[in-house]
């Protein structure tokens, strides 16, 4: 009986020591803040985006506003397919807005929680994409002052590239840089024949094997009034996947934004 009681006491002691050790160990905070931005559009679609920006050092009284990079993914994908690239920028001192376009990822439901997939969209619906992004930007401005939409860049793949151009046209202040991955003069009704972006520096990428996309680059260059850089890949891929498959293209994209919109140090 005594032996059994001793065993129970030992079990209790070891259990409690584990509990105290677990509670005394502070959970390490991530070096960045994450916020979910949500807005219901005028036609009752729920748009969502993830906002990431560096955590301000504890005790700092300096008001920091980070230059912001808006990521707009390719058709049929989601913001998660950017992989580690957004976090690379956050580590450098940027804020990042990871948008799931209407009908994709976590932006695939309306206000009544009915699934609305991009596969059933008409050009009329796709034309709402730029206004979806503007709604998310305006909501973000109300939520936090940590990010800047006066000092921002846009990275977009195919339909995200076209959407990004149209967003920039609608914004009162133009982006400091744009990275367009396989843009077309017209994609799903999103027409970008006339950039009207002033002198915004633009980096365009597509696959060298995609002859149509290469021709589109040449045509689009005629609308650029500022720096227009073409850096194509040998990989047979397109859109946002270019930055996944070609490390040289990813490096070029990072350098392009760093040069034209330096990070907050």
Q: Are strands 45-54 and 95-100 parallel, antiparallel or unpaired?
A: antiparallel
pLDDT band of residue 26 (cuts 50, 70, 90) is low
pLDDT of 231-256, one tens digit each? 999 999 999 999 999 999 999 999 99
Could you tell me if 224 and 202 are in contact, meaning their C-beta atoms sit under 8 angstroms apart? yes
Q: Which domains, from first to last, does the chain contain?
A: 31-57+64-260 (3.40.50.1820)
pTM of full prediction above 0.85:
yes
- Check whether 20 has a pLDDT greater than 50: no
- Check whether 21 has a pLDDT greater than 50: no
Q: Quick one: average pLDDT of 113-126?
A: 96
For 136, left (φ over 0), alpha (ψ -120 to 50), or beta? alpha
φ, ψ for residue 32 (rounded to 5)? -140, 155
């Amino acid at each position: 009986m005594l032996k059994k009681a001793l065993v129970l006491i030992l079990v209790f002691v070891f259990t409690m020591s584990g509990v105290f050790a677990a509670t005394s160990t502070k959970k390490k905070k991530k070096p960045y803040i994450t916020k979910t931005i949500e807005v219901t559009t005028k036609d009752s679609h729920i748009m969502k985006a993830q906002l990431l920006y560096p955590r301000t050092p504890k005790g700092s009284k300096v008001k920091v506003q980070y230059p912001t990079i808006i990521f707009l993914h390719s058709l049929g994908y989601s913001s998660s397919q950017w992989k580690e690239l957004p976090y690379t920028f956050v580590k450098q001192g940027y804020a990042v807005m990871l948008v799931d376009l209407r009908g994709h990822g976590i932006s695939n439901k309306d206000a009544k929680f009915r699934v609305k997939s991009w596969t059933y969209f008409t050009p009329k619906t796709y034309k709402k994409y730029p206004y979806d992004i503007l709604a998310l930007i305006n909501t973000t401005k109300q939520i936090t002052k940590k990010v800047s939409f006066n000092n921002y860049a846009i990275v977009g793949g195919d339909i995200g590239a076209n959407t990004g151009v149209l967003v920039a046209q609608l914004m009162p202040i133009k982006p400091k840089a744009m990275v367009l991955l396989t843009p077309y003069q017209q994609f799903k009704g999103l027409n970008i024949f006339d950039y009207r972006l002033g002198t915004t520096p633009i980096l365009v990428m597509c696959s060298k094997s995609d002859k149509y996309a290469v021709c589109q680059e040449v045509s689009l260059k005629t609308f650029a009034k500022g720096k227009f850089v073409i850096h194509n890949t040998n990989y047979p891929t397109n859109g946002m996947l270019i930055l996944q498959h070609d490390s040289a293209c990813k490096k070029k994209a990072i350098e392009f934004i760093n040069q034209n919109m330096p990070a907050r140090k």
